[in-house]
Structure 1
């Protein structure tokens, strides 16, 4: 019941200390394409293989349409990450594979433009989205996976309070190759336990 009523509403903007998250809009295309284009060498190693038309407007329209469809179905919420100071687009974060019923879980994925890495923006974004997922969406468990040698992503997840749970063999096809991933997770009890101690 909650999931159906939540997904009928527009996705709210979410504020952290360093970032603001909001749903992607059609007119974000130019800024998105410029940031992704200049960061291509930085991102390709960690993402599914880019299509030849990856940054074209037609592919962008398809991407926006998919974001909306996922939202309507209640399976995913996509956000763009903006610096709170200056308002520049610096990356994206999604909570997908959302399941309700006995599972009450979701999976986060994210990317950041190369020039914005190492400034704590992604850690803030992960914390903001996780809090929203637990407090507003009423999920119980949030998962994330990263390639074992992606040290930056590992640091982000560990700083955001995620715990490593194991290795997923040949989990995702990244840059054209099936790759192992480390599984990280955070559960609602991790936050409520920290609050009760504080």
Structure 2
């Protein structure tokens, strides 16, 4: 196991398993990405001016390097034992900032089964309780209604719009920014959601 993989926990919640990405995931990950191309492409980060083919293995190595530096938690999401998506906590900062950002995708075949909000909640709880971070941020394109529903369900607070913020699907795209801090969720993100204590209105946009 690489030092990067050692930083990432394995967490089980029913049929969902969250574990570290591994170099040997490259072939299966590329297959799932290609199978879900029409579903995922509108939301995929791109490099300005880069028309090259994906380098899945290179991306995995980069994520593991970031995990080894303790600046990212790159999770594979498995549903009923099959690779079903990814969730990455990135830009982890410690000390006076103690924050991170979170991004995710799931295969279309498992969308709507509660996998994404569960994974986001579990990862945020882990960052708050185990790593000791104070703030988690998620940025979402205004058109991505499925992802917006995730932050609504979990009670992430809307903080504003960032114009032309991230290069997505070939151009610079606006994003809405949402965040939670530890004080928002004393009972934990997952428990608050499952106990029906979320105030979804905090995610309302202007």
* TM-score > 0.5, shorter chain as reference: yes
- The Cα shift of 1:106 comes to 0.2
Match of 2:69 among 69, 73, 76: 73
Which stretch has the larger CA shift, 143-152 or 12-21? 12-21
User: What is residue 14 of structure 1 aligned with on the other side?
Assistant: 11
Tell me, what secondary structure is at the counterpart of 1:192?
coil
2:152 is aligned with 1:158: yes
User: What is residue 135 of structure 2 aligned with on the other side?
Assistant: 141
Q: Matches of residues 108-127 of structure 1 in structure 2 within 5 Å?
A: 108-127=102-121
User: What is residue 179 of structure 1 aligned with on the other side?
Assistant: 173
State how far apart, in whole Å, the 2-side matches of 1:31 and 1:65 are.
15
Match of 1:49 among 22, 46, 64: 46
State how far apart, in whole Å, the 2-side matches of 1:121 and 1:186 are.
19
State how far apart, in whole Å, the 2-side matches of 1:16 and 1:167 are.
33
Task: Kindly indicate whether the alpha-carbon contact (under 8 Å) linking 2:5 and 2:64 is maintained by their aligned counterparts in 1.
Answer: no
**Aligned residues between the structures:** 187
Task: Kindly indicate whether the alpha-carbon contact (under 8 Å) linking 1:163 and 1:186 is maintained by their aligned counterparts in 2.
Answer: yes
**Cα 1:121/1:193, change in 2 over 3 Å:** closer
- The Cα shift of 1:193 comes to 6.2
User: What is residue 203 of structure 2 aligned with on the other side?
Assistant: none
Q: Which runs of 5+ in 2 are unaligned?
A: 198-206
Cα deviations by residue, 1:5-26 (Å, 9 ceiling, x for unpaired): x979442101224411100112
TM-score, length-scaled by structure 2: 0.83
TM-score, length-scaled by structure 1: 0.86
Task: Kindly indicate whether the alpha-carbon contact (under 8 Å) linking 1:143 and 1:184 is maintained by their aligned counterparts in 2.
Answer: yes
Query: Following superposition, which runs of at least 4 residues in structure 1 exceed 6 angstroms of deviation?
Result: 193-196
Task: Kindly indicate whether the alpha-carbon contact (under 8 Å) linking 1:162 and 1:184 is maintained by their aligned counterparts in 2.
Answer: yes
State how far apart, in whole Å, the 2-side matches of 1:42 and 1:188 are.
33
Q: Which runs of 5+ in 1 are unaligned?
A: 1-5
